[in-house]
Each structure stands twice: as C-alpha cells, then as structure tokens.
Chain A
Amino acid sequence: MSQQLLIYFVVGGSFLLYIGLAIYSKANSTSDFYVAGKHVSPVANGMATAADWMSAASFISMAGLIAFLGYDGSVYLMGWTGGYVILALLLAPYLRKFGKYTVPEFIGDRYDSQIARTVAVICLIVISFTYVAGQMRGVGIVFARFLNVDVTVGLLTGMGVVFVYAVFGGMKGITYTQVAQYCVMIFAYTLPAVFITFQVTNIPIPQLGFGSELADGSGYLLSRLDQVVTELGFASYTDGSKSMVDVFFITMALMIGTAGLPHVIVRFFTVPRVRDARISAGYALLFIAILYTTAPAVGSLARWNLTATIQTGEVGVLTANLQYEERPEWFKTWEETGLIRFDDKNQDGRIQYYNDANEEFVAVADSYGWAGNELTIDRDILVLANPEIAGLPDWVVAFIAAGAIAAALSTAAGLLLVISAAVSHDLVKSVFNRNMSDRNELIVGRICAAVAICLAGYLGFDLPAFVAEVVAFAFGIAAASLFPVILLGIFSVRVNGIGAICGMLAGLVFTTLYINAFKGMLFSPMFENVPENWLFGISPEGIGVLGALLNFAVTLVVSYCTKAPRQEVVDLVYNLRTPRVVQTKVSHG
C-alpha cells in the first residue's frame, strides 16, 4: 500500500471512530450537552482534559520551539503544566461543588450580578475564539500537508467532523471522542520519540535518553549539543538567552492563563463528586506530562540530528559541511514543501548552517569562507519529519498525521462547546428568556455550536497575519480577566459584584492594550517589540501577570469601598468550601 493510501486509511478510520462514539453518546438533555450529565469517571475525564488541552500547537509546534530555543523553551513546558496545580488546588474542587454548567454562571451567581456574568461571557468569547481560530488553521495545514488536499478542503472536512460530534453529542459526545483522540495522539507522539532516542543514545526511554551519552561514545548528548551550537554562533542549548525576569513572567502568565481557560475549567464540572474533581486533575496532568516530558527530549534530539547531519565534523573545516548533493531523503521531501530552503550563498555546493545574526561570529565565519547562513528551516516540521529522519515505516507517518489532526480537533471541539454553552445558557436563556424549557435550550445550544463552528472555520480560513500571536493573547486575557475573579470569589467572602466587574475590565483592557501596543492587532504597533521598551522588562507574552495583579488590586479596593455582598452570597461561598452540602446561617471565617 502506498504511503498516501495508508494515511487516508488511518485518518479516515479515526474519523469513523470519533463519529461512531459521538452517535453512541448522543446528548439527551442540557445537562448532557453542557457537562456530560456529570457522569464522567475521573480517569476518563483526565484523558479528555489532556486531549482538550493539548492542541495542534502542543503536538506539532512545541518540540520544534524547544529545539530552537533550548532552555528558554522551558517557559512552555513549566507554564503549560504548572497551571494544573493551581487549577487542582485552588479552583476545580470548589467549582465542581458549585455544581452548575458554565464559568460565567459561577461569576454571575457568586457576584450576584447579571452584568458581571455578561462581562465574563465577553472575556470567555474573546479567549475561546482567538484560540479556536488557530486550531482550525492547524487542521487545514495538516490536511494540506498529509492528504495532499487544498487547505480549504481540509478545513471544511475538519469542520464537518467536529460538527457531527459536537453538535449532536455535546459535552457527552466530545468527552468520549476526546478519550479516543488522546490515545491516538499519545501513541503517535511517543512511538517515533522512542525510536529516535534509541538510535541516538541506545536508550529507549526519551525522558532518560536525552540526558545520556551518545551512542558513538563521543560524550553526553546535551554537552555535545551545547558545544557544537555555540561553535556555530548560537546561544548555548542548556542556558538560553532570555532575561530571567522575562522567563519568570512568561511562565507565570502561561500558568495562571491555563488555570483561567474556560474550556479547561469546565471539564471539572463533568465528574460526579468533589473528590473526583481533585483526583481527575491529577490524572489530567499525568496524561499531559507523558507528552510534555517527551517533548524536550524530542527537541534536543531533533536539534542534534539536524546539526549533526549538516555539520558532519569540526566547525571551520571545509569538508565538515554536508554536500548539498548528498543530502538525505527526508531533506528532499520537506524541501518540496518549501519548509526547508537552501541557498548556496558562497557557491561551494556545501550547506553552512549557523547564526549569522551573531555579529561576533560573523567575523569568524568570514574567515572560514562562509557568506551567510544558507539553510532556513520551519520549526514546525521537526515533529512531523521525525519518523522519516528515524527511518520508520510508512504507517507511523500515517499515525502522526492522525495524531496531529486529533490534537487540533479535540481542542477545537472543547472550545466550541464552551462558546455555545456561554451563548445559549448565559446570554439567551438568562438575559432573554428565563423560562425556556430544557428541550428548547438544548436546541438553542446546538444552533449556537453550529454557528460557532462556521465562524471558527471562517476565521481559520481567513486568519490575519498575527496567527502566531493569538495564543499568547488568549492566555494573557484568561490570566488577567477570569482567573483573579474566580479565585477571589472562592477565597474571599467580601468581594462583590461591582469590584469584580471593575477588576475584569481593568485586567482585560490593560492586557489588550499592552499586547496591541507591541504586536499590533486592533491597531498598528506603537512601539518596537524590544526589551528596552517593555514595562519592567516584561514581554507581551508575560504581561498577563501584571494584568492579573491589577485585576486583583482593583477588585479588592473597589469591593472594600462598597457594600458587602448579601447573606445569600456569603452562604453560597461557605457552601462551596466544604464538599458536603451544609445549611449555614451563622457566618464564620
């Protein structure tokens, strides 16, 4: 069977599986549609959360980012896992105890304010749409690359599949498809990683392998990598080049952004009990950690493989650079896609790959007769090209394609569902028609999901140039708008509606303006995006932390200057804090 046919077979088979699962677990009530009837087991919810969480960016781009950033890439590893600790310890059990359907509903009830609920809906929609547009784009690109179809056709196919299982299955449908998608994804990710680690280091466990000696006995992988990349003018792999302040703030922003993402929070509404919410967060992070601890191994091995392929011996010796005519097969395959490009600047027929932005090193390179870096590589191809670099059979490539599509679809479905729930439950039902029947609300929910899918598809199709920036934006907004008011709503009985509204708006506006001032999305950039211009040396990726602090400060100050919440609200907060339902009339704490 040809490789192309195999890919069609595996990807098509995975689609049938997802649709079959969705039909099997069709939603029959709003409880099914919003929170899967609260019947999901903690382990299944953990897998579904992991699939929901790990997007096309985690699956395709993260290892490549780490490969080129080295230590600096740690911000993504720690940032996108550490948030679960905050979520599990500070939010998930209490929100599960609250026991309703959506994040804005919690904010509306806790702050006793329809306006607060509406502001929360706006924050949720901004966060989720920016995030989902990137996923749809990811689906389109994977289709285009592996199935040889046009990006538009790929996008429409992806939309069609998500449509079937999100619209009919609701939360119940996506939960069980996400469990299947997690299995596809993790298998596709770890298998090539195991083979590559074994080839390079003779150790079959990626997490250990990248700290071991190279199979040829020339020393530790990471030490040799540090040595060769610095000889080529790059920053040392294990040290990085970002400032400590910036690394600190980006990591923190990603962590609290993770804890404030509505599509992640809502997953903990689907388990039966408070203690299931606690343990389920543990399973979720365990399943995520399998991929997240493999990624840095894949990153360093890919960087090593790439460097060693091109720089075959001592830097500066003419014959130590690979001859273009002798380049390996995978190199040729990816050259065809335009994602690897070679430009023989010094006309010697050999590939020189080095850091020509490093002025000190350019002088050294001149003395070697090098006329500039000749190789451009798209970071995203490293994971996708892994099986070919390792010489693995065609069916592994087919699984990588299915895994990448699973990663994008599962995240897109989760996001679309929180959008539709927010619109149907928090806007249509609570603002326009409070007496809507369960049956009608379910129909409205399905219509909202369908509209959201079409809109997301349109955004993915016609995404403006800032695609890479939108994810940072989503995290910044989540950190600065929703996270602080949810946290204070649980841990303080004194904060009130007016405080929360001011706090959310302050965080939202500050963070949006700061990111815009440097990145330019709503209007053109006002300042050059360089460390000298940043507030306290914090880049736009890390600014969500300051936005969150601002939100905390504004919410507290405004609340303490205005009236304390009603007794009913105080009772609600006390009720959140204990797993068992308690009838309290006296205040304590």
Chain B
Amino acid sequence: MKHREYWIANLRLVGVLLSIWFLVSFGCGILFVDVLNQVQIGGFKLGFWFAQQGSIVVFVLLIFVYALLANRLDRTHDVDEDE
C-alpha cells in the first residue's frame, strides 16, 4: 500500500503544479488577457506581461519547486534512490 499512497500524493503534487502552469499561461496570458490588460504596471499591460515574461518566469519556478517537493516525497515514502 506504501506505493499506492506515494503515487496518489505524487499525482496530487503534479495536479496542483499543472493548475498553476495552466493559470499563468492559458489563463493570464490568453483567456483573461483583456481583463488583465486594464491593469498597468510600469510600462507593461499586465496581461501582455504575463504572455511575454511572467508565464516563462513562473514555468522555471514550477519545475524547481516540483524537483524539491518530489524529492522530499520520495524520502517521506521511502522510495528514494539512496538506500
């Protein structure tokens, strides 16, 4: 049962991170871009900034956060590579 719990926890982690992935790119950068463009930060319209800068920055952070949390998950469920 140990592996089943690990797999479910893993799917939950991936699910949460992919929701953020979808939100910043397809959400902020495409679907709600017109609404967000009403907000101006410096010279950037916010929706435009998400489409050309923000989404990419968040993508990078998401992978590093995933690597950190997935490695921790491996250890807590005792399925990591260092035995």
Contacts and interface: CB of A to CB of B under 8 A. Distances in A.
Interface residues on A, range: 35 or more
Given A279-B64, A282-B63, A244 B79 contact: no
A589 B4 contact: yes
Contacts of A131: none
Contact of B43 (A90, A222, A292): A222
B67 A82 contact: no
A293 B55 CA distance: 10
Interface string A244-279: 100110011000000000000000000001110011
Contacts of B67: 88, 275, 278-279, 281-282
Given A212-B43, A220-B42, A282-B67, A274 B52 contact: no
Nearest to A237: B48
B62 to A, nearest CB: 5
A580 B48 contact: no
Interface in A215-250: 220-223, 238-239, 244, 247-248
A222 B52 CA distance: 13
A238 B83 contact: no
Interface in B27-83: 29-31, 33, 37, 41-45, 48-49, 51-53, 55-57, 59-60, 62-64, 66-67, 70-71, 74, 79-81, 83
A184 interface: no
Contacts of A278: 63, 66-67, 70-71
B31 to A, nearest CB: 7
A220 B43 contact: yes
B71 A275 contact: yes
Contacts of A252: 26
B68 to A, nearest CB: 8
Contact of A577 (B3, B25, B30, B71): B3
Contacts of B44: 211, 222
A375 interface: no
Given A74-B51, A278-B66, A580-B79, A285 B60 contact: yes
Given A77-B56, A211-B44, A588-B1, A248 B63 contact: no
A253 B59 CA distance: 17
Interface majority SS (helix, strand, loop, mixed), chain B: helix
Contacts of B25: 78, 82, 251
A228 to B, nearest CB: 15
B62 A85 contact: yes
Contacts of A580: 74, 79-81, 83
A526 interface: no
A251 B30 CA distance: 9
A158 interface: no
B64 to A, nearest CB: 4
A310 interface: no
A579 interface: yes
A292 B51 CA distance: 12
A584 interface: yes
B18 A89 contact: yes
Contacts of A213: 43
Nearest to A42: B67
Nearest to A300: B52
A93 B59 contact: no
A74 B60 contact: no
Contacts of A281: 63, 67
A82 B80 contact: no
B64 A588 contact: no
B7 to A, nearest CB: 5
Residue in A78, A213, A281, A580 whose Cβ sees the most chain B Cβ within 10 Å: A78
B49 A211 contact: yes
Contacts of A275: 67, 70-71, 74, 80-81
A111 interface: no
Nearest to B83: A580
A285 B30 CA distance: 21
B42 A78 contact: no
A293 B3 contact: no
B26 A251 contact: yes
Given A84-B59, A89-B66, A588 B29 contact: no
Contacts of A73: 52
Contacts of B55: 77-78, 81-82
A296 B63 contact: no
B3 A221 contact: no
Interface in A482-514: none
A390 to B, nearest CB: 20
Contacts of A89: 14, 17-18, 62-63, 66
A447 B67 CA distance: 38
B66 A88 contact: yes
B52 A88 contact: no
Interface of B: 1, 3-4, 6-7, 10, 14, 17-18, 21, 25-26, 29-31, 33, 37, 41-45, 48-49, 51-53, 55-57, 59-60, 62-64, 66-67, 70-71, 74, 79-81, 83
> What 8 A-B pairs come out closest when comparing CB atoms?
A220-B43, A74-B51, A282-B63, A278-B67, A211-B43, A296-B52, A578-B79, A211-B44
9 contacts: A71-B52, A73-B52, A207-B53, A211-B49, A222-B44, A278-B67, A282-B63, A289-B56, A293-B57
Interface of A: 66, 71, 73-74, 77-78, 81-82, 84-86, 88-90, 93, 207, 210-213, 220-223, 238-239, 244, 247-248, 251-252, 273-275, 278-279, 281-282, 285-286, 289, 292-293, 296, 574, 577-580, 582, 584, 588-589
Given A78-B25, A293-B53, 8 more contacts: A78-B55, A82-B55, A213-B43, A222-B44, A282-B64, A285-B59, A296-B52, A588-B3
